[in-house]
Amino acid sequence: MEVSASMVKDLREKTGAGMMDCKKALSAAGGNFEKALDYLRQKGLATATKRAGRIASEGVIGSYVHAGGKIGVIVEVNCETDFVAKTDDFQAFAKDIAMHIAASNPLYLRRENVPPEVIEREREIYRAQAREAGKPEKVIEKIVEGKLEKFYSEVCLLEQHFIKDPALTIQDLQNGLIGKVGEKVEIRRFSRFQVGEGITKG
């Protein structure tokens, strides 16, 4: 299938990858957009893995205030050099992540941060639900694991689906930026504030 300039442009807008990379991905995928997307993601992931051991001590604090000042987020995003930290792509990424956190309210950065007692409590709830639904004991653990994966995708930032493009997780988005800037990029920490949160209303 002929790879058109508009297809390359669409893929570039979706992934932020270079023109030649997008063209190569579309050619390799025979013009199939989804396969080309996977090809680029895998490429981004390879870059991300290669850079995982590097030190990322530069970066920016991204922020976002929403809903008439009722919700605010600050997030620290790190990279390896001040040069990359100042690029539009990096700044936009930090802003997008802050906005995503405001909307999606993740509780943890990654699944490794979820306390064991929280995981165990979720497991118990899922087991009880499966038994209540009359599921056979031999499939209950499989059901529990499936529900636990869904739980991680809801509460862990890196596993959440990006609000602006649900086809991508935040991890995919981060890997795409790593592939684009050629440096290690990582979301280090975040805080989300909501007016009145935690206050017992009398």
In a domain, 140, yes or no: yes
**103 and 65 belong to one structural domain:** yes
**105 and 176 belong to one structural domain:** yes
**105 and 162 belong to one structural domain:** yes
In a domain, 42, yes or no: yes
**165 and 85 belong to one structural domain:** yes
pLDDT range class, residue 202, cuts 50, 70, 90 = low
pLDDT range class, residue 112, cuts 50, 70, 90 = very high
Mean pLDDT, range 9-35, rounded to an integer: 80
In a domain, 183, yes or no: yes
In a domain, 199, yes or no: no
Return all residues near 68 (Cβ < 8 A) that are at least 6 apart.
none
Flag whether pLDDT at 181 surpasses 80: yes
**104 and 165 belong to one structural domain:** yes
Return all residues near 106 (Cβ < 8 A) that are at least 6 apart.
155, 156, 157, 160, 190
Flag whether pLDDT at 45 surpasses 60: no
Which of 44 and 124 is assigned the larger pLDDT?
124
Q: What is the pLDDT of residue 23?
A: 85
In a domain, 202, yes or no: no
Q: Answer whether 44's CB lies under 8 Å from 78's CB.
A: no
**121 and 131 belong to one structural domain:** yes
What is the domain-level CATH number for residue 35? 1.10.8.10
The 3-class secondary structure across 45-64, one letter per residue, is HHHHHHHCCCCCCEEEEEEE
In a domain, 88, yes or no: yes
**14 and 105 belong to one structural domain:** no
Q: What is the pLDDT of residue 5?
A: 84
What is the domain-level CATH number for residue 119? 1.10.286.20
**Whole-structure pTM value:** 0.72
Which domain range does residue 11 map to? 5-51
**26 and 36 belong to one structural domain:** yes
Q: What is the pLDDT of residue 2?
A: 77
CA dist 161 and 153 (Å) reads 8
pLDDT range class, residue 22, cuts 50, 70, 90 = confident
What is the domain-level CATH number for residue 79? 3.30.479.20
Q: What is the pLDDT of residue 97?
A: 97
Q: What is the pLDDT of residue 189?
A: 95
**89 and 14 belong to one structural domain:** no
Q: What is the pLDDT of residue 55?
A: 76
Mean pLDDT, range 93-117, rounded to an integer: 96
DSSP the chain: ----HHHHHHHHHHH---HHHHHHHHHHTTT-HHHHHHHHHHHHHHHHHHHTTS---EEEEEEEEETTTTEEEEEEEEES-HHHHTSHHHHHHHHHHHHHHHHH--SBSSGGGS-HHHHHHHHHHHHHHHHHTT--HHHHHHHHHHHHHHHHHHHBGGGSEETTEEEEEHHHHHHHHHHHH-S--EEEEEEEEETTTTPPP-
**90 and 161 belong to one structural domain:** yes
**73 and 36 belong to one structural domain:** no
Domains in the chain: how many in total? 3
Mean pLDDT, range 99-121, rounded to an integer: 95
Q: What is the pLDDT of residue 50?
A: 65
**163 and 189 belong to one structural domain:** yes
pLDDT in tens, 63-85: 999 878 899 999 999 999 999 99
pLDDT range class, residue 47, cuts 50, 70, 90 = low
